[in-house]
Structure 1
Amino acid sequence: MACTADEETHLKELAENGYRTATSPVQKLRYACLKRGANGIKGLGRSFRRMDDDGSKTLDLREFRDGLHDYGLRELDDQTITEVFRELDKDGSGKLSFDEFLVAIRGPINSNRQEYVRQAFRKMDATNDGQITVEDIRKLYNASKHPKFLSGEWTEDQCFRHFLDSFDSPGNPDGVVTWDEFLNYYAGVSASIDDDHYFSEMMKRAWRL
């Protein structure tokens, strides 16, 4: 499952500590995002897509700075933002690709952690077609005890769709979660967890692996 409230709180505490000890501008940005929780990096991607005025799927320095400010990362001053931009602009073009930027910010996820993520994905993919949809979740879970289903506010399918949206791409919330989207979510979670054992135990608890 997506992170529980207690896990979110712990991740935010880890990110707070990471931010204070960060040794590079990119690390500072990573932890500033993760202080907002497991979806912090994913949410930043959503903010940047709104700032892409010309539809180029790239950002110049002004768009980059405005995107960070719009997202509420006020702890980053303009000098730090400029340093992050220059560090990530490898070819000196004055432009950053959305996807390249988000991969750089979230950091790598090692093979051991990735295997736990893959096990969780396979468990969710009840139809074994390489993607997770409402139909998959319907086969595995019962939404009858969800508070919004009990109140009559949501149907079962709406409960399932809300769950899927935790993992879906912020730029394309289409109700279909691919392996890449699922991995991206947990790569963001992984970025704030130094201990492999903690990560594996969290995955085992969440998905009953």
Structure 2
Amino acid sequence: MDKREQYERVFSHFDGDKDRKISPAELRQCVATVGGGDISLEEAEAAVEVLDGDGDGQLGFEDFVAFVEGGGAEEKAADLKEAFKMYEMDGGGCITPKSLKKMLSRLGESRSLGECKVMIAKFDLDGDGVINFDEFRVMMS
């Protein structure tokens, strides 16, 4: 049996409701069973959020393989945070049209402030005119 078949068996074992997805609650059980210690539901939800390839709030098989192989979830989260910091620039915890314009200019992409507002509006889920880290994560996935 190759590694992928083993992963499939483990995935199927922890997919309690057999929907071909592992929920945060199922992930908690998985971690506890394989000797990874106890993780809170919040930690499981955060892990699923980082690894969730299609944004449905659960892990599909490929997401699970990335998790099991240590597919760089922590590294991916750290990279996203670093990229976010590059765009936010002013330390305010969000990307503003002005900071987006500055960063795009540094990258050789000259955009007007109005164009930057339009770009931000596409991913501004809460309608506050700026991109926070959660919105940035959605945008980058």
Question: Aligning the two structures, in what range does the TM-score lie when normalised by the shorter sequence?
Answer: 0.3 to 0.5
Structure with the bigger RCO (C-alpha within 8 Å, sep 6+) is: 1
Q: TM-score, normalised by structure 2?
A: 0.44
